[in-house]
């Protein structure tokens, strides 16, 4: 496994490999088993697997955790090598934003960038699409793999790739969960032991809502309000509890079939902001291939 930090070096080493199928798994590092499952899947899909590790300042708000976000390159490399990673691309901020973050070209995916997490974190998805566009241009992968835990991010990136005519297959893999159902996330470490015990209520809420919809409930707004109130009673501060259409994250309308819907939650618990979602009828993979 080779680790590259400069774009010139990266391009020079990829040049003789063009023609092979390249998979990219973009990450911000501080990797967990969920990331590793993305890499293992990438390994089955391509001749060569590249993992990028970059804590992207553009997607953090002014009062968010950019400065404290764990940078653990050595530990990450030790997990990545046995999982089948060929290259790690770990650029510096100046490599991706040579003119500084306030003077840089921004890629925006309108509408999708402003809903749900986009309301709570203005500019977040512009930061995500701006960095992923750069990573795609630097690596020129054939396929890129993301987790479905960041469902809105996946949609934003699919839309960006489609509209900018980037010849890259975007694959979303099912969320990797702890035994008690909590979605794996680098930010789970921000919770105290007590909060960590409470955290699986998010997944339980998603399950309760998806079951209710499968059983025929169509009063989506009431369903959202009931479950948001229950999370508040349990000590969470929900940003949203939402039943949305999978295709564009617009609010569900009565008459919508369960297959087209996804339930999404973002809620604060102490210092952590937890996000999770569950398709009402789960697509195991956002691609034709079987995992």
Catalytic residues: 35
CB of residue 28 to ligand PAF, shortest distance in Å: 4
Residues at the interface with ligand PAF (CB under 6 A): 26-28, 56, 59, 128, 131-132, 150, 153
Closest CA to 124 of 135, 112, 140, 133: 112
Residue nearest to ligand PAF (CB): 26
Q: How far is the CB of 78 from ligand PAF (least distance, A)?
A: 19
Sheet holding 87-89, edge to edge: 2-4, 87-89, 48-53, 22-27, 143-147, 169-173
Q: Quick one: 48 or 53, whose CB is closer to ligand PAF?
A: 53
Q: How far apart are CA 185 and CA 144, in angstroms?
A: 19
Considering the complex, state which of residue 128 and residue 202 has its C-beta at the smaller distance from ligand PAF: 128
Q: Which is nearer to ligand PAF, 132 or 263 (CB)?
A: 132
Beta carbon of residue 24, minimum distance to ligand PAF (angstroms, whole number): 10
Decide if 67 contacts 140 (C-beta within 8 A). no
CB of 36 to ligand PAF, least distance (A): 14
Q: How far apart are CA 278 and CA 19, in angstroms?
A: 37
- The residue among 54 and 220 lying less far from ligand PAF, judged by its C-beta, is 54
Tokens of 207: 């399950």
């Amino acid at each position: 496994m080779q680790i590259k930090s400069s774009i010139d070096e990266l391009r020079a080493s990829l040049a003789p490999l063009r023609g092979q199928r390249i998979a990219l798994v973009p990450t911000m590092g501080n990797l967990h088993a969920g990331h590793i499952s993305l890499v293992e899947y990438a390994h089955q899909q391509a001749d060569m697997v590249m993992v990028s590790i970059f804590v992207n300042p553009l997607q953090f708000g002014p009062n968010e955790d950019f400065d404290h976000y764990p940078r653990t390159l050595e530990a990450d490399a030790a997990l990545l090598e046995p999982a089948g990673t060929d290259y790690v691309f770990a650029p510096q901020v100046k490599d991706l934003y040579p003119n500084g973050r306030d003077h840089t070209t921004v890629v925006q995916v309108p509408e999708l960038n402003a809903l749900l997490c986009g309301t709570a974190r203005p500019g977040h998805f512009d930061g995500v699409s701006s960095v992923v566009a750069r990573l795609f241009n630097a690596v020129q992968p054939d396929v890129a793999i993301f987790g479905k835990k960041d469902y809105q991010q996946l949609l934003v990136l699919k839309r960006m790739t489609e509209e900018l005519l980037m010849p890259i297959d975007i694959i979303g893999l099912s969320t990797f969960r702890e035994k008690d159902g909590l979605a794996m996330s680098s930010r789970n470490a921000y919770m105290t032991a007590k909060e960590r015990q409470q955290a699986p209520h998010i997944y339980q809420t998603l399950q309760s809502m998806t079951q209710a919809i499968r059983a025929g409930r169509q009063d989506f707004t009431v369903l959202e309000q009931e479950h948001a109130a229950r999370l508040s009673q349990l000590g969470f501060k929900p940003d949203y509890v939402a039943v949305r259409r999978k295709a564009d994250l617009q609010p569900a309308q009565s008459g919508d079939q369960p297959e087209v819907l996804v339930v999404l939650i973002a809620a604060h618990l102490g210092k952590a902001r937890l996000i999770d979602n569950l398709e009402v009828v789960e697509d195991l993979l956002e691609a034709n291939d079987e995992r």
